[in-house]
Every structure is written in C-alpha cells, then in structure tokens.
C-alpha cells in the first residue's frame, strides 16, 4: 500500500503571491496594505519585491515573466525555483481575496514586532547597566516603536488623495492662536510640530510670556505642560494669580494684601483651579529632554496636548558628553526639543537666555547671534522671538515689551509692541493700558 504525503496547507503568503501572479490588477491594492518586510519568510519577500518592481517598470507580471526576472537577478534558486511560484498559484483559492490575505500578513507582522520589542526590552532589563536618563531613553524608544506600528505611513497615501487632503486642510486654522492677536497673525499660530524659541536677557519678561502661552492654551480647552526649571510651582501660580486677578505682584511677594486683593485672588484662584486638569506645572529643578518627553507623551495619551512650554532651555539637564563642551550639550538639548515637537506633533515653546552682546549695542536691541551658547538653537527653531524692553528694571511699569520676530519660517519678521504690566506679571496687546 502506497502512502502519499499530504500537501502542505496554504499560507497567507501563498495566497497573496498567488493573487498577484494570477491577477496583476490586485497588486496596487495589496501594496497599500503590506510591504516586503512584512513577510515572515525572506524568500516570500524576495518574490513580492520582484513583482512590485516589475509592475513599476511596466513589465507584465505572470509566473513566466517573474521566473525570468528572478533568474536574471540571481534569486531564482534562493526562493526555491519555479516550483515556488507555481505552488503559490495552486494554493490560491481566489485572486480577488488577495487584500484580505494581505491584511492577515500585516496583522501577523505587527504581532511579531510587538514580541520583538518586548523581547529586546526584557533582555535590556536583564543585561543593561543603564541608569537615569538612559533608562528613560530605552522606555521612550520602545513606546515609539509600538506607536509606529499603529500609524499609517504617509508615504502610503496616494499622491492624488494627498493633494485633496491639503485642500481640505485650508478649512482648518493654520495653528493654535497665541495670547496676542498680532503675534498670531505674524507666525500663523502655533503649529503642531513647531519649535518656538523666545529669548531675552534676565528680568525682561520671558517667564511672563511663557506662562501666558500655557494659560491661554488651557483657556482654549487644550492641555498645556509648563516645565518650570527655575521657579517653583507656587511662584508660577502666584504670577498667574497676579495676572488673572490684577493683584500687585509686589504685595503678593511681601504678603501685604488688602481686603480687595484677597477678594480678587479668590476669584482668580477659582478660575485657575478650574483649568488645573488642563494646565500642568512641573517644577522639578533638574529634568532631561527624555523626562520632558515622557511627561508630554503621558499627557498626550490622556487627551489633546496643545503646547509644551520649557522655562528655560539652558537649565534642561544635558546628556553627558565626553568632551565636556557646553555648546555640544546645548546643541543636543535644542535638537531633542525639536524632535519632541515633531514626534508628538505638538508645538514646543522653549525660553532661552541671550548673552551680553546686546548690552554693548546702540539701543541694546538683541539679534539672533546673541542666543547664548549655541547656534543650533537658531537652526532648529521654526520661529525665534527676541524680547526687548526700553528698561530692564522689573519694577518699571511704563515700558513697552517688544516681541521681535527675528526668524519666521511661516511668514515675515516683525517687531510687535505690547504694553508691559510688570506688577501684574503680564503683557497686554492694548498699548493704551500701559501703567504710568
């Protein structure tokens, strides 16, 4: 009695390759779902890539032409010879179901990559001696890999559809408004993925401007993360309460408050507390870009993150470098914040210090070369705003705060004037409200 071996069951790869060979019209539909690297077996990947390359060059696709192509490239024997192609054709019940089988391959590929990420993380946990920021970098890398598995590659969007998507986007605001209408008009709002640098000499008002961005974002119903590396959370909230309640900051600091001040502060506190779920102040004194990224990512997972404000860039803990060069450290921080903005698709507003160059200049007006310690900041930023006041005395109530838009990838450069109200820790667009 002769025993015949049972044929191997058809695989999803067999059915996809068979569909592409039997019905070349299915190739485009299948390519929208999977790529060559999604196949478990490298031999199947070779056949898939060959078929895609032949179709792109206008070469007819069938078992004979693909065999000739693989023979010419030296891959025919690697994939198992002509029998491999005929086996795929024989195993395919219906070429019309090719996209369904392709989706199964895509699902299997995602599960394999999830397992691979988990395996690498487990191995790193057992073998790595990483500490501090290095640990966070490993965690962030793993999260990024997992997130990437669920994101449709924009390259896969047909060009024609991308054109119409661009037209549809014209009905949406170009970016989130800033606290000041004239600034919004010049920079076209805060764009997702944009990196905005606001730089000034000490005591000019950059913290006041930074907190205004965070507070305004929360008022618009979006979450704001204010990373305060210099001031405590209490100090930041005192300034916000001063701005909202129009209570003299000097009297708050000296605790010389009148009854009307307490009444105003109570109303202001109710307003700011109502925004507390959306307005997060992290006042840890030593944070790295990795830690800021982890905090921002966690907030984005919980809801819509409107802006990240970092006060200030020079105090972010750098990644150690062997040279000990401060410029290299600042370059790394700047690039890290730029990547944070791009990866999370959220505007990042970083406050920065200017060097003393402007103090020796006529009029003491700053220029971009005054950015302290790094030219990389200027290169990375989409928008650079330099702050300048006629006087740097924080007690002066009648000065004009100049927002000098020195770099703007989205439009012109401008000098925008705001009325500086130092005792209320704010700047207003209505220059008639200057305090004299």
- pLDDT for the residue 217: 92
Tokens of 273: 């507390």
- pLDDT for the residue 7: 46
Q: How far apart are CA 209 and CA 402, in angstroms?
A: 11
Helix axes 82-91, 12-22, angle to 10 degrees: 100
State the pLDDT confidence band at 8, using cuts at 50, 70 and 90: low
Residue 394 pLDDT > 60: no
Comparing 25 with 122, the larger pLDDT belongs to: 25
What are the tens digits of pLDDT across the range 208-254?
999 999 999 999 989 999 999 888 888 988 988 888 888 888 888 88
Q: What SS3 string covers the chain?
A: CCCCCCCCCCCHHHHHHHHHHHCHHHHHHHHCCCCHHHCCCHHHHHHHHHHHHHHHCCCCCCHHHHHHHHHHHCCCCCCCCHHHHHHHHHHCCCHHHHHHHHHHHHHHHHHHHHHHHHHHHHHHHHHCCCCCHHHHHHHHHHHHHHHHHCCCCHHHCCHHHHHHHHHHHHHCCCCECCCCHHHHHHHCCECCCCEEEEEECCCCCHHHHHHHHHHHHHHCCCEEEEEECCCCHHHHHHHHHHHHHCCCHHHHHHCCCCHHHHHHHHHHHHHHHHCCCCEEEECCCCCEHHHHHHHHHHHHHHCCEEEEEEECHHHCECCCCCCCCHHHHHHHHHHHHHHHHHHHCCCEEEEEEECHHHHHCHHHCCCHHHECCCCHHHHHCCEEEEEEECCCCCCCCCCEEEEEEEEECCCCCEEEEEEEEHHHCEEECCHHHCCC
What are the tens digits of pLDDT across the range 18-69?
999 999 888 878 887 888 888 989 999 999 988 988 877 778 889 999 999 9
What are the tens digits of pLDDT across the range 141-163?
676 666 666 554 444 555 666 67
- pLDDT for the residue 3: 45
Residue 260 pLDDT > 50: yes
pLDDT average, residue stretch 79-88: 90
Residue 413 pLDDT > 60: yes
CB atoms within 10 A of CB 96: 13
What are the tens digits of pLDDT across the range 261-301?
889 899 988 998 888 888 888 888 777 887 888 788 888 88
Listed in sequence order, the residues at least 6 apart from 11 whose beta carbon sits closer than 8 Å to its beta carbon are: 91
State the pLDDT confidence band at 324, using cuts at 50, 70 and 90: low
Are 341 and 193 contacting, i.e. CB atoms less than 8 angstroms apart?
yes
- pLDDT for the residue 1: 46
Residue 393 pLDDT > 80: no
pLDDT average, residue stretch 118-125: 74
- pLDDT for the residue 434: 39
Q: Is 215 exposed, middle or buried (0-12, 13-18, 19+ CB in 10 A)?
A: buried
Tokens 């039997």 sit on residue? 22
- pLDDT for the residue 358: 67
Residue 5 pLDDT > 60: no
Residue 4 pLDDT > 60: no
pLDDT average, residue stretch 403-423: 88
Residue 351 pLDDT > 90: yes
- pLDDT for the residue 371: 80
CB atoms within 10 A of CB 300: 17
Are 60 and 30 contacting, i.e. CB atoms less than 8 angstroms apart?
no
State the pLDDT confidence band at 333, using cuts at 50, 70 and 90: confident
Residue 363 pLDDT > 90: no
Q: How far apart are CA 106 and CA 39, in angstroms?
A: 8
Q: Is 293 exposed, middle or buried (0-12, 13-18, 19+ CB in 10 A)?
A: buried
- pLDDT for the residue 152: 46
Cα–chain center distance at 43? 37
Q: From 354, 343, 342, 286, select the one nearest 318 (Cα to Cα).
A: 286
- pLDDT for the residue 202: 84
Residue 409 pLDDT > 80: yes
């Amino acid at each position: 009695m002769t025993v015949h071996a049972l044929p191997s069951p058809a695989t999803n790869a067999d059915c996809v390759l068979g569909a592409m060979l039997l019905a070349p019209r299915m190739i485009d539909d299948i390519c929208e779902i999977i790529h060559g690297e999604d196949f478990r077996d490298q031999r199947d990947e070779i056949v898939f890539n060959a078929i895609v390359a032949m179709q792109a060059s206008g070469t007819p696709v069938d078992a004979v032409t693909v065999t000739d192509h693989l023979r010419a490239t030296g891959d025919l024997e690697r994939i198992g010879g002509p029998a491999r192609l005929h086996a795929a054709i024989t195993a395919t019940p219906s070429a019309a179901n090719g996209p369904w089988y392709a989706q199964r391959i895509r699902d299997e590929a995602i599960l394999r990559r999830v397992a691979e990420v988990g395996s690498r993380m487990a191995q790193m946990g057992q073998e790595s001696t990483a500490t501090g920021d290095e640990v966070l970098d490993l965690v962030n890398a793993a999260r990024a890999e997992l997130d990437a598995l669920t994101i449709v590659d924009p390259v896969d969007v047909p060009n024609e559809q991308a054109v119409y998507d661009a037209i549809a986007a014209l009905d949406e605001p170009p970016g989130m408004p800033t606290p000041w209408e004239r600034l919004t008009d010049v920079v076209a709002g805060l764009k997702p993925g944009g990196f905005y640098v606001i730089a000034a000499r000490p005591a000019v008002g950059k913290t006041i401007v930074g907190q205004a961005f965070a507070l305004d974002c929360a008022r618009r119903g979006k979450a704001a993360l204010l990373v305060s590396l210099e001031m405590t959370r209490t100090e930041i909230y005192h300034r916000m309460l001063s701005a909202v309640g129009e209570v003299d900051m000097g009297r708050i600091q000296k605790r010389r408050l009148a009854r009307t001040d307490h009444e105003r502060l109570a109303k202001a506190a109710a307003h700011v507390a109502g925004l507390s779920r959306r307005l997060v102040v992290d006042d840890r004194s030593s944070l790295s870009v990795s830690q800021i990224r982890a905090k921002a990512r966690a907030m984005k997972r919980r809801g819509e993150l409107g802006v990240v404000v970092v006060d200030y860039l020079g105090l972010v803990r750098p990644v150690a470098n062997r040279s000990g060069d401060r410029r290299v450290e600042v370059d790394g921080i700047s690039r890290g914040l730029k990547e944070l903005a791009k990866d999370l698709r959220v505007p990042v507003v970083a406050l920065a210090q200017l060097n003393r160059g402007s103090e020796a200049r006529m009029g003491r007006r700053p220029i971009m070369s005054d950015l302290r310690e790094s030219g990389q900041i200027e290169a990375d930023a989409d928008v650079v705003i330099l702050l300048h006041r006629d006087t740097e005395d924080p007690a002066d109530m009648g000065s004009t705060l100049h927002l000098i838009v020195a770099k703007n990838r989205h439009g012109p450069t401008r000098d925008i004037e705001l009325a500086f109200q130092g005792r209320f820790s704010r700047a207003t667009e209505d220059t008639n409200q200057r305090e004299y």
